[in-house]
Structure 1
Amino acid sequence: MNLEPLADFSIEVGDPLDLGPSPQGHRRIVPVTGGHFSGPRLSGTVLPGGADWQVLHPDGTIAIDTRYTLRTADDAHLHLTTTGLRHGPPEVLRDLAAGRQVPSSAYYFRLFCRFESGDPRYQWLTHTLAVATATRTPDAVRYAAYAIT
């Protein structure tokens, strides 16, 4: 098994909608407002309209559950789903929540990525699993995705 660079993503996000505590944890929804991605075989824009349906756990861990749409540079549409975890020391998580820039090495933020497309040019991607290492900035999530080969 190897990791092959797939694309670097910059996902622009809006202000979270806090739904409060639920039986599964503290729920909030973070809207996806746009962005872009580029890599050796995959590049384009992130369309507004998706979101991250997060669950915040008592220890500060955030369970990531995103769904959004990509438009490739050659005008194909892809559905992207990511699941993952973000956690770290309480003071680092507080800084992130306050919108402060924190080095990505100060916390753990990893994603599992699945793509879907009806476009024949991207069937290879529909049959590919990917992982990513991510970082949170005040207005975006940035991550490097790698295809598992």
Structure 2
Amino acid sequence: MILAPKLEHVCTLHVDLAPITEMGRGRAGGRRIIPIVGGTVTGPRLNGRVLNVGADWQTIFDDGMAELDTRYAFETNDGAVIEIKNYGYRHGPPEVMAAVARGEDVAPDAYYMRTHARLETGDPRYAWVNNTLFVGTGSRQEASVRVDLFALQ
């Protein structure tokens, strides 16, 4: 019997970004850091604000694919602090990715931006995030990222 996982929408993260810091070419490709400076968390299970802490440490491979490696935190409306480690890929046709890089409003289904996330907290009200795997679909705007986060059930 095959048991396929179900997805439950947990929240949408609107993550505000500071300007990109280019590091130059590393062993695997172009390296850059994008500081995470705020944002909002809204949804059926998690709500709050993204804290001004953390960054996305990206590698841009020769074929244009961006490897996303983020670590940041948010505070729920009732005071719990939750860390999020989010890892994923963003890629698409060169002309679409060039439009994304220019900060243009590009339809999220025109390119691939998918992540998997681990959340952690010491707050017992949200202990369930410590034992749940999450996946996300995302899109990049000029100075922010949107990630719709789903719990694997």
Question: Which band: TM-score by shorter chain?
Answer: over 0.9
Query: Percent identical across equivalent pairs?
Result: 42
Which structure 1 residue ranges, 4+ long, deviate > 3 Å from structure 2? none
Q: For 1:125 and 1:29, locate their aligned partners in 2 and report how far apart those are by CA, in whole Å.
A: 27
Q: For 2:25 and 2:67, locate their aligned partners in 1 and report how far apart those are by CA, in whole Å.
A: 14
Q: Does 1:47 align with 2:51?
A: yes
Paired residue total: 149
- Once the two structures are superposed, what CA deviation does each residue of 1:19-77 show, in whole Å capped at 9, x if it has no partner? 01011211000010100011112100000121000000000000000000110011000
Indicate the residue corresponding to 1:23 in structure 2. 27
Q: For 1:126 and 1:139, locate their aligned partners in 2 and report how far apart those are by CA, in whole Å.
A: 29
Find the residue that maps to 2:97 and give its secondary structure. Answer: helix
- Counting only pairs closer than 5 Å after superposition, residues 1-149 of structure 1 correspond to structure 2 as 1-149=5-153
- Structure 1: runs of 5+ lacking an equivalent: none
- Once the two structures are superposed, what CA deviation does each residue of 1:63-115 show, in whole Å capped at 9, x if it has no partner? 00000011001100011010000000011111111111111111000010110
Find the residue that maps to 2:119 and give its secondary structure. Answer: strand
Q: For 2:107 and 2:11, locate their aligned partners in 1 and report how far apart those are by CA, in whole Å.
A: 21
Q: For 2:28 and 2:119, locate their aligned partners in 1 and report how far apart those are by CA, in whole Å.
A: 26
